[in-house]
């Protein structure tokens, strides 16, 4: 494919895994508010947005749909707890290839964004421990919409606002580790790239309709390999002085 105009990354299961810090924060919130150790296990790692996770868990644990105030209270308790759960999580991991790929893409001029079901503050808290926020210029979050396709559309619109003209959605890569990421990419008119770094295999991501499938972020992204190989020789020809300026 042609050079992508922007590349969007999911967080959990693609860039990092928090080692259950999100689930523990939800559990803490329900326990703090209602004295109920809510089971949010069935709603994690599936690519659901935080508003949906909060609503479904509330309904299942408390027995009725949350009012707007109840939902806001649960989400804010989750958020208040999240920094310490992320900081103390022994299972927090940056996934394979991420720390090499992101600076490389930035240096090659690809605008990078976040598409995540996490509310915006949660996304930044999760990325901060690995110092990854600095690579992302824009994003779409669970706080923009409970619908993943809609928040992905918003992320792409924001990239267009930053860059000065609307993007060609068919030249935007949306990377994610779940079938929901792929569905969201397509709902937004973008290219869905499944990465089998979470709980879904390459076969399952192909079955979900992924346009491209990778085993991990060590592998080349569609449309970017030529950019990298094209950039390397020109840098090799630079003198030391030019390289310092570059």
Give the interface with Mg ion as residue ranges (CB under 5 A).
10, 12-13, 177
Q: How far is the CB of 177 from Mg ion (least distance, A)?
A: 4
Q: Which is nearer to Mg ion, 160 or 176 (CB)?
A: 176
Q: Which is nearer to Mg ion, 168 or 204 (CB)?
A: 204
Helix (H) or strand (E) segment spanning residue 183: helix 179-187
Q: How far is the CB of 8 from Mg ion (least distance, A)?
A: 12
In sequence order, the β-bridge partners of residue 172 are 6
Residue nearest to Mg ion (CB): 13
- Distance in angstroms (rounded) separating the CA atoms of residues 69 and 53: 16
Q: Closest by alpha carbon to 220, among 209, 233, 229?
A: 229
CB atoms within 10 A of CB 215: 13
Query: Order of strands, edge to edge, in the sheet holding 172-176?
Result: 138-140, 112-115, 6-9, 172-176, 191-195, 212-214
Q: How far is the CB of 186 from Mg ion (least distance, A)?
A: 16
Q: Which is nearer to Mg ion, 5 or 178 (CB)?
A: 178
Strand pairing category for 172-176 and 138-140: unpaired
Q: Which is nearer to Mg ion, 13 or 142 (CB)?
A: 13
Q: How far is the CB of 104 from Mg ion (least distance, A)?
A: 22
Distances from the Cα of 49 to the Cαs of 10, 88, 234, in angstroms?
11, 23, 43
Q: Which is nearer to Mg ion, 75 or 195 (CB)?
A: 195
Q: Which is nearer to Mg ion, 13 or 113 (CB)?
A: 13
Q: How far is the CB of 158 from Mg ion (least distance, A)?
A: 20
CB atoms within 10 A of CB 169: 19
Strand pairing category for 93-94 and 16-17: antiparallel
Q: How far is the CB of 222 from Mg ion (least distance, A)?
A: 19
């Amino acid at each position: 494919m042609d050079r992508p105009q922007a590349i969007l990354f999911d967080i959990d299961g693609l860039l990092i895994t928090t080692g259950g810090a999100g689930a523990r924060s939800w559990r803490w919130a329900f326990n703090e508010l209602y004295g109920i150790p809510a089971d949010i296990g069935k709603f994690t790692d599936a690519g659901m947005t935080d508003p949906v996770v909060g609503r479904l868990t509330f309904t299942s644990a408390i027995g009725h749909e949350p009012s707007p105030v109840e939902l806001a209270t649960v989400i804010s308790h989750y958020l208040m707890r999240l920094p310490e759960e992320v900081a103390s999580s022994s299972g927090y991991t940056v996934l394979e290839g991420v720390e090499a790929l992101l600076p490389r893409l930035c240096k090659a001029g690809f605008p990078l964004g976040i598409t995540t079901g996490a509310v915006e503050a949660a996304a930044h808290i999760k990325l901060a421990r690995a110092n990854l926020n600095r690579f992302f210029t824009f994003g779409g979050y669970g706080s923009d919409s409970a619908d993943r396709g809609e928040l992905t559309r918003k992320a792409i619109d924001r990239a267009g606002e930053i860059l000065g003209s609307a993007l060609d959605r068919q030249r935007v890569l949306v990377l994610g580790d779940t079938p929901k990421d792929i569905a969201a990419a397509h709902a937004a008119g973008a290219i869905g790239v499944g990465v089998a770094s979470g709980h879904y295999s390459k076969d399952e991501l192909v079955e979900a309709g992924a346009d491209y499938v990778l085993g991990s972020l060590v592998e080349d992204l569609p449309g970017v390999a030529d950019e990298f190989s094209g950039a390397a020789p020109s840098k090799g020809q630079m003198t030391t002085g030019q390289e310092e300026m570059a």
